[in-house]
């Protein structure tokens, strides 16, 4: 079983639609990161959330950390083809202890 | 600014052959360094991490080893590759003293063992 469950695993939507992907766990994390990875490349850090209930915005992307610091969501408004990629969440449980989810593979169709 | 390099980008090796993948970081000192393997449907699996020269921690028992001969150099090795070693290998670094372990990844090496 995965420590971090990401859902959905696959998502295909039309350009302009909104979407939300989720990252859930039964463990508490001291911080949580979201990354985007394109095929054949390394993941790129998007954001870090630290405080329970924290909301961060990055242009059309909104990240939220759950109040209990066990889960997080990523909402994309008016998705663009450039948003296509694998979205990974990673939770930190202590020094050097980072666990990655399997990811949500997003395809935005023009 | 900091950059991270990995080479080679792709590699095809026969079963039983040795392996050496190299990772170097520029623009930072005393980084934490990591080796991950990414397989389809399994996410990123942490293989090794290092907090300093000569200091290696292994996360899973396996056919691979890692070394850190210099502050900003991290090497992943194997004496005899197995078919199951195929995958996408990623090197990453993080700031050594930072509390939130944000990691910065290299471009990866695609290894195919035949």
Provide the pLDDT for residue A96.
66
In the three-class reduction of DSSP (H, G, I as helix; E, B as strand; rest coil), residue A81 is classed as helix
Non-local CB neighbours of B40 within 8 Å, separated by 6+ positions: none
Is the Cβ pair B43, A100 closer than 8 Å? yes
Section A36-58 average pLDDT: 95
Buried b or exposed e, range A45-78, using 16+ CB within 10 angstroms: bbbbbeeeebeeeeeebbbbbbeebbbbbbebee
pLDDT tens-place values along chain B, 114 residues long: 889 999 999 999 999 999 999 999 999 989 999 999 998 777 898 999 999 999 998 887 678 999 999 999 999 999 999 999 999 999 999 986 666 678 999 999 999 999
Q: Is the CB of A62 inside 8 Å of chain B's CB atoms?
A: no
Contacts of A34 in chain B (CB under 8 A): none
**B70 or A2, higher pLDDT:** B70
Residue pairs spanning A and B at CB distance below 8 A: 54
pLDDT above 90 for A95: no
Q: Is the CB of B98 inside 8 Å of chain A's CB atoms?
A: no
In the three-class reduction of DSSP (H, G, I as helix; E, B as strand; rest coil), residue A83 is classed as helix
Q: Which residues pair with B21 in a beta bridge?
A: B76
Provide the pLDDT for residue B104.
94
From A105, which residue of chain B is nearest by alpha-carbon distance? B41
In the three-class reduction of DSSP (H, G, I as helix; E, B as strand; rest coil), residue A82 is classed as helix
pLDDT above 90 for A3: no
- Give me the residues of B, 73-92, that contact A with CB < 8 A: 90, 92
Q: Is the CB of A33 inside 8 Å of chain B's CB atoms?
A: yes
């Amino acid at each position: 079983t995965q420590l971090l469950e990401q859902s959905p695993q696959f998502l295909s939507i039309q350009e302009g639609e909104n979407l939300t992907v989720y990252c859930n766990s039964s463990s508490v994390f001291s911080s949580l990161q979201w990354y985007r990875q394109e095929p054949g490349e390394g993941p790129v850090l998007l954001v870090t959330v630290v405080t329970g209930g924290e909301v961060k915005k990055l242009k059309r992307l909104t990240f939220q950390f759950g109040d209990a610091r066990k889960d997080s969501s990523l909402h994309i408004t008016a998705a663009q083809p450039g948003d296509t990629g694998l979205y990974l969440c990673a939770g930190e449980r202590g020094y050097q202890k980072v666990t990655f989810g399997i990811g949500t593979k997003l395809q935005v169709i023009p | 600014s900091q950059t991270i390099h990995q080479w080679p980008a792709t590699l095809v090796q026969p079963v039983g052959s040795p392996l050496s993948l190299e990772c170097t970081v520029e623009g930072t000192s005393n980084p934490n360094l990591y080796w991950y393997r990414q397989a389809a449907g399994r996410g990123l699996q942490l293989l090794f991490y290092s907090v300093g020269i000569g200091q290696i921690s292994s996360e899973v028992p396996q056919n691979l080893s890692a070394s850190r001969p210099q502050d900003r150099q991290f090497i992943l090795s194997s004496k005899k590759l197995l078919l199951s070693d195929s995958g996408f290998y990623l090197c990453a670094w993080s700031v050594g003293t930072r509390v939130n372990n944000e990691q910065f990844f290299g471009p990866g090496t695609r290894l195919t063992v035949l």
